[in-house]
Amino acid sequence: MSDLTRINASDLAAQLADGSVTSVEATQAQLDRIAAVDGDLNAFLHVDAAGALKTAADVDARRAAGETLPTLAGVPIAVKDLINTTGQPTTAGSKILEGWVPPYDATVVARLRAAGLPILGKTNLDEFAMGSSNEHSAYGPARNPWDTGRIPGGSSGGSAAAVASFEASLALGTDTGGSIRQPGAMTGIVGVKPTYGGVSRYGVIAMASSLDQVGPMARSVLDAALLHEVIAGHDPRDSTSIDAPVPSVVEAARRGDVAGLRIGIVREFGGEGFQPGVQRRFDEAVAKLAGAGAEIVDVSCPSFEHGIAAYYLVMPSEVSSNLARFDAMRYGLRVSPDGNPSPSAEQVMAATRDAGFGDEVKRRIILGTYALSSGYYDAYYGSAQKVRTLIAQDFSAAFGQVDVLFSPTAPTTAWRLGEKSDDPLAMYLEDVCTIPANLAGVPGISVPIGLADDSGLPVGGQFLAPAQADDRLYNAGAALERLVPAPVLEEVVR
């Protein structure tokens, strides 16, 4: 294995800057790594070797010419296949967009290009980001490098597997109910969901507009912060984007000091349904944080227990509307109904959507269509919005007492492929700790806190902070990373 694939992005950036390594070498090393292991992982849906090497060569040439380049220039990255890229297909993990090449770049991709990051390819995901295991991808599941018989988490499972297996040191994910943090936890890497509105959603295929957020995935807190800085900041093309300076996340990640920090432990996140091995690692992490000078405070957020119920009304409602545009009229798959030589547009729409969407997507469209129906709206969508308000109030009250909240990222470690496929509800419960942040728009980070002693698989700890205080996550995360070193994967476990 080439050393270049195992070093962190910040270290690679330093080597690129001092000229000891070229971006072409680093990019080629990642492409070789992908070629070697992705057959077992299925983390990538598309690899763009030529495009990545071209960017790398360009960065090398500019550096050789003495140009001052952005910090991460030349560091290769993987991008979740929900995010639009010109020159590469963007499928959302769905048959309905198979082969679709967007005519425009997402704002975050434009920012990666402007910062000189070679884009290695597009990573696997649950179809339209709907799932917690990556098993709902129309192109087969991505697999967990710690045990390829297990799921890598989801929906950003491809990005997580790629970073954890050294196919890339950086990746972009999206997080609607935990889709960055939970796969981060399952694969032993760092994943951040920024404050809602902190990163532009323009060009990111919408799942649930009021919840979706793009964020960084990396093997260190500092690497995540460096990537966060590249993609964050106001975008006039996204009306929900915050027009304020980006919090000083890199500085916070370099600081990593919890002395005097008030850390709230959410009483509702623990106990029944939580795997004992996860709980033990978590308790140890809390003890270490206390040992480093943090003040540990017990807090209660009683509305959090309604988070999943509210989420599974708001999210599918928005899904049912956001996914209406996939109708075969302008782009994507077009299927004519069998035995009908001159079908109407409506018949083509129906046949295409029937053939192009997978079961989980259909399930959520149906749920959402029902929840928004006349006569049910108030009871479902309306009530769910009220729960969101209550959850936001719980956060406000908690952040009146403490600086950050801390919990396990997910109740369990990675499960076996197929283990929960017949039980959607069990799968939905995996997101219990992550969903409240999306409903309230606050930021969250998952940091590895070791391997569970009962399963031998990675466990993640999650910090949550008030909106626009993303820097607190990086400070606490960096401190935790120092106190509890991340587990190191020797080689993909087949």
455 is an active site residue: no
Token readout for 417 is: 């492929």
Per the CB < 8 A criterion, the answer to whether 300 and 405 are in contact is: no
3-state secondary structure the chain: CCHHHHCCHHHHHHHHHHCCCCHHHHHHHHHHHHHHHHHHHCCEEEECHHHHHHHHHHHHHHHHCCCCCCCCCCCCEEEECCECCCCCCCCCCCHHHCCCCCCCCCHHHHHHHHCCCCEEEEECCCHHHCCCCCCCCCCCCCCECCECCECCCCCCHHHHHHHHCCCCCEEEEECCCCCCHHHHHHHCCEEEECCCCCECCCCECCCCCCCCCEEEEECCHHHHHHHHHHHECCCCCCCCCCCCCCCCHHHHHHHCCCCCCEEEEECCCCCCCCCHHHHHHHHHHHHHHHHCCCEEEEECCHHHHHHHHHHHHHHHHHHHHHHHHCCCCCCCCCCCCCCCCCCCHHHHHHHHHHHHCCHHHHHHHHHHHHHCCCCCCHHHHHHHHHHHHHHHHHHHHHHHHCCEEEEECCCCCCCECCCCCCCHHHHHHCCCCCHHHHHHCCCEEEEEEEECCCCCCEEEEEEECCCCCHHHHHHHHHHHHHHCCCCCCCCCCC
C-beta of 321 vs 421, nearer to other proteins: 321
Total residues interacting with other proteins, rule: CB under 8 A: 44
Q: Which of 23, 80, 133, 317 is catalytic?
A: 80
CB atoms closer than 10 angstroms to residue 393: 13
From the CB of 276, what's the least distance to other proteins, in Å? 39
Q: Does 372 bind other proteins (CB under 8 A)?
A: yes
Least distance (Å) between residue 321 CB and other proteins: 5
Select from 19, 64, 104, 276 the one that contacts other proteins (CB under 8 A). 104
- What residues from 327 to 366 belong to the interface with other proteins (CB under 8 A)? 327, 329-331, 345-346, 349
- Cβ 443 to other proteins, closest distance in Å? 19
Q: Is residue 416 part of the contact set for other proteins (CB under 8 A)?
A: no
- Draw the binding track, 378-397, toward other proteins (x: CB under 8 A; -: no contact): ---x----------------
Judged by CB under 8 A, which stretch of 116-124, 199-207, 225-233, 359-367 contacts other proteins? Answer: 199-207
CB of 341 to other proteins, least distance (A): 12
Q: Which stretch binds other proteins (CB under 8 A): 82-90, 152-160, 253-261, 402-410?
A: 82-90
10, 23, 94, 155: which is the annotated catalytic residue?
155
Binding-site member from 25, 70, 100, 149 for other proteins (CB under 8 A):
100
Task: For residue 311, state whether it binds other proteins (rule: CB under 8 A).
Answer: no
Q: How far is the CB of 385 from other proteins (least distance, A)?
A: 9
- Which residues ranging from 225 to 254 are in contact with other proteins (CB under 8 A)? 236-240
- Least distance in angstroms from the C-beta of 368 to other proteins: 9
239 as an active site residue: the answer is: no
Q: What are phi and psi of 192, to 5 degrees?
A: -125, 130
Decide whether 68 or 374 has the Cβ nearer to other proteins: 374
76, 93, 102, 158: which one binds other proteins (CB under 8 A):
102
Residue from 10, 42, 84, 407 in contact with other proteins (CB under 8 A): 84
Instruction: State which residue, 167 or 318, has the beta carbon closest to other proteins.
Output: 318
Per CB under 8 A, the segment of 60-68, 178-186, 282-290, 324-332 that binds other proteins is 324-332
Which residue of the set 132, 179, 220, 317 is catalytic?
179
362 is catalytic: no
What residues line the site for other proteins (CB under 8 A)? 83-84, 90, 92, 97, 100, 102-104, 106, 201-206, 208-210, 236-240, 317-318, 320-321, 324-327, 329-331, 345-346, 349, 369, 372-374, 377, 381
Which residues belong to the active site? 80, 155, 179
